[in-house]
Structure 1
Amino acid sequence: MVTTEEISLKNELIRLLKDVNCVKFGDFTLASGKQSKYYVDIKKATTNPKVLKAAAKLVNYYVSKENNENLKIAGVELGSVSIATAVSLETEKDLLIIRKKAKEYGTKNKIEGELNPGDNVIVMEDVTTTGGSVSKAVDEIRAVSGNVKKIYVIVDRQEGAKENLAQNNVELIPLVTIEELGLNK
């Protein structure tokens, strides 16, 4: 059941995303390789403290209704680290940073932060199209016995990510869909 608090938090995030003018029009190639007539310039949003705070509050609203035992908040470098950090601060849950490739020096870790076998992990993502990029992070976490059941994304382009991730037993929870930003999918 949708509550007035959820609606209020979501509407605030939508307003802020529109205020930072993060949707651009033209001819773009997306990370998925797809061509698009619009681009969600999410870095304009995720470098804005008001947007980060609004997103973190909405995720905290959802997370607070669940079992939070051994919960970690993960973000994939570079795009999702600021989001995951904001959510970690809001929820007071430990932060994990998932590297795209392991460091070649020091600890050579691919996952930064303390992740123990059996820990529950929520992965944060900035934008999803097909879900391919974030799916790799899920695989990395699961490879070291972390449990990933949910991914929260600031903007879902509604082009298959939800369905693709469901095949990997992960629920994609968009904070905002591209339709809610006023575009047709």
Structure 2
Amino acid sequence: MLTREEIIKLFTDTGVLKTGHFLLTSGRHSDRYMQCAQLLQYPDAAEKVCRELAQKFKGMDIQTVIGPAVGGILVSYEVARALKARSIFAERENGVMTLRRGFTLKPGEKVLVVEDVVTTGGSVKEVIDLAKAHGADVLAVGALVDRSGGRVDFGVPAHYLLELEIKSYLPEECPLCKQGIPAVKPGSRK
């Protein structure tokens, strides 16, 4: 079992937690940003944290682990490997979360939805809705980091490797904007 301190050290050592003035995908602003891709670029570190996350779902008889592209792809793969399950991912097509590349879900299939970082939970909720639309049984949600402060309810049990409350602001309320500090958009979506 990794301790909270060991997880934070791993995140710090790999450059996951960034400080500055960031424009988040949600449109909100923040002085800190989590970029788990920095950790996931190291296979040994990715395996270690995802295996730890997978422990929270042992005994649930998960058949398939699914994550939203891009952040959830590697997390899905490594968690599925630890659980000896199948790994797939959903991706946006014309703005809608979809199964492509021949991926399918069967009615009653036991599914775990995973993500790298949960902020508003929007992408995870879209994947849950997609899985349910295919008749799958979504048993739980997992993520490396919950930065929502525990405020997101997915309607199923959710477990996180690390919970970090990182404040975010509406643009008109952002103290960094009021100081004239330019915001940068660090994520992958435009």
Q: Which residue of 2 aligns with 1:74?
A: 66
Alignment of 1:93-104 (within 5 A): 93-101=85-93
Alignment of 1:26-45 (within 5 A): 26-45=20-39
> Relative contact order, CA 8 A, sep 6+: which one is greater?
2
Say what the alpha-carbon RMSD is for the aligned residues.
2.4
TM-score (norm 1): 0.78
> Matched residue of 1:125: which SS?
strand
Residue 74 of structure 1 contacts residue 121 of structure 1 at CA under 8 Å; is this kept in 2? yes
Larger Rg: 2
Q: Which residue of 1 aligns with 2:16?
A: 22
Q: Which residue of 1 aligns with 2:138?
A: 148
Q: Which residue of 1 aligns with 2:162?
A: 176
Aligned length: 165
C-alpha distance after superposition, 1:62-104 (max 9, x if no partner): 222x230x521112111110111111222210112112227xx
TM-score (norm 2): 0.76
Q: Which runs of 5+ in 2 are unaligned?
A: 169-190
Q: Which runs of 5+ in 1 are unaligned?
A: 103-107
Distance 1:111 1:148, change over 3 A: farther
Moved over 6 A (4+): none
The offset of 1:110, in angstroms, is 3.7
Q: Which residue of 1 aligns with 2:175?
A: none
Q: Which residue of 1 aligns with 2:76?
A: 84
The offset of 1:27, in angstroms, is 0.8
The offset of 1:111, in angstroms, is 7.3
